[in-house]
Amino acid sequence: GEDVSRAREVLEDAGFEEVRLVAKIETRSAVERLEEVLDAADAVLIARGDLAAYFDLEQIYAVQGQIMKRARAAGKPIIVATQLLESMVENPLPTRSEVVDVITAVRMGADALMLAGETAAGRYPLEAVRWLKRIISEAEKLPEEGEGPQPRPGDTYDVIAQGVITLSEMLSGKVLAFSEKGNTARRLAKYKPKIPVYVYTNRATTARYINLLRGVKPIYHPDLSKSDSSLFERMLEHALSAGLVSSGDIVVFTAGRRAGATDLITVERVKPLSF
């Protein structure tokens, strides 16, 4: 946690305060101090190959699950890395156990999966990427493994974000959100929504960060501002013209009135776009 905080200070002093920090979890001490790391980082990367040097092989699955559960509870995106399709360094097809491993990581709540040796030094880098994408697409159709995360105790914004997703799913609606720094997007993604969630932002760096989050899609719109009294109307107008929503759709809008907040909800049925 201290290392991440120090790295952030260095970046801020150099004028790069919008650079996001991914904490690589690769040692026993990082696992033991995970809460500190989660508080300081913008995302975590589970380096399973490195963790194998600190834990017995039969413990890695449980350690991975523990990290993912706590990271999801904190609303921080999770990257699972290394030894996903290791056999494809030499072979054009993954093994059945590797396929199951990838599916399990997706069902446990991973936001992203990262290949290493398969693409850096393997004989079949393109095939490895294609197979990973194919497996992920199928895995996302399956139910989550275990119960999903709940709002953090006393976190009003987290409760509201969960409410937005629950309401939208119950109404078979779509979500249009505005997120300047990515906090609202992160809270919505925590609940791995099954309905379309489009997050508008006026910052390119935030749009890139949102790309890491599973279940939400960034829409970069530099002319929007959360102080705009017609923010939701402008978002809806763009969504209609872009084909993201259609006449008759139920749309749930959400945003924050203050930096870091998620405290507004509006529900509308879309009317035809008039010219």
Residue 150 lies in a domain: no
Report the CATH number that the domain containing residue 165 is assigned in CATH: 3.40.1380.20
Residue 262 lies in a domain: yes
If asked whether residues 211 and 135 sit together in one domain, one would say: no
If asked whether residues 126 and 254 sit together in one domain, one would say: no
Instruction: Indicate the DSSP class of residue 93.
Output: S
Residue 148 lies in a domain: no
Residue 275 lies in a domain: no
Query: Around Cβ 253, how many Cβ atoms within 10 Å?
Result: 19
Residue 170 lies in a domain: yes
Report the CATH number that the domain containing residue 110 is assigned in CATH: 3.20.20.60
Give 6's contacts (C-beta < 8 A, 6+ positions apart). Answer: none
If asked whether residues 162 and 228 sit together in one domain, one would say: yes
If asked whether residues 134 and 13 sit together in one domain, one would say: yes
Confidence at residue 71, expressed as pLDDT on a 0 to 100 scale: 96
If asked whether residues 101 and 222 sit together in one domain, one would say: no
Residuewise pLDDT in 10s, the chain (275 residues) = 788 989 999 999 999 888 999 999 999 999 999 999 999 999 999 999 899 999 998 999 999 999 999 999 999 999 999 899 999 999 999 999 999 999 999 999 999 999 999 999 999 999 999 999 999 999 999 988 877 888 888 888 999 999 999 999 999 999 999 999 999 999 999 999 999 999 999 999 999 999 999 999 999 999 998 888 889 999 999 999 999 999 999 999 998 776 666 678 899 999 865 55
Distance CA 178, CA 198 (A): 9
Confidence at residue 123, expressed as pLDDT on a 0 to 100 scale: 96
When computed from its CA atoms, the radius of gyration of the chain, rounded to whole angstroms, is: 20
Which runs of consecutive H residues, i.e. helices, occur in the chain?
2-13, 28-32, 34-40, 48-51, 60-73, 96-107, 117-120, 125-139, 156-170, 183-189, 204-210, 231-241
Domain count across the chain:
2
Residue 110 lies in a domain: yes
Q: How far is CA 6 from CA 24, 47, 75, 187, in A?
A: 15, 21, 22, 25
Confidence at residue 273, expressed as pLDDT on a 0 to 100 scale: 58
The residue out of 111, 139, 167 marking a domain boundary is 139
Confidence at residue 259, expressed as pLDDT on a 0 to 100 scale: 67
If asked whether residues 27 and 119 sit together in one domain, one would say: yes
Confidence at residue 35, expressed as pLDDT on a 0 to 100 scale: 95
If asked whether residues 33 and 116 sit together in one domain, one would say: yes
Q: What is the pTM of this model?
A: 0.89
The residue out of 114, 139, 164 marking a domain boundary is 139
If asked whether residues 220 and 261 sit together in one domain, one would say: yes
Distance CA 88, CA 101 (A): 14
- Structural domain for 67, as ranges: 2-139
If asked whether residues 163 and 116 sit together in one domain, one would say: no
Confidence at residue 187, expressed as pLDDT on a 0 to 100 scale: 94
If asked whether residues 195 and 251 sit together in one domain, one would say: yes
CB burial of residue 167 (10 Å; 0-12, 13-18, 19+): middle
If asked whether residues 105 and 213 sit together in one domain, one would say: no
If asked whether residues 9 and 50 sit together in one domain, one would say: yes
Pairing mode of beta strands 250-255, 264-269: antiparallel
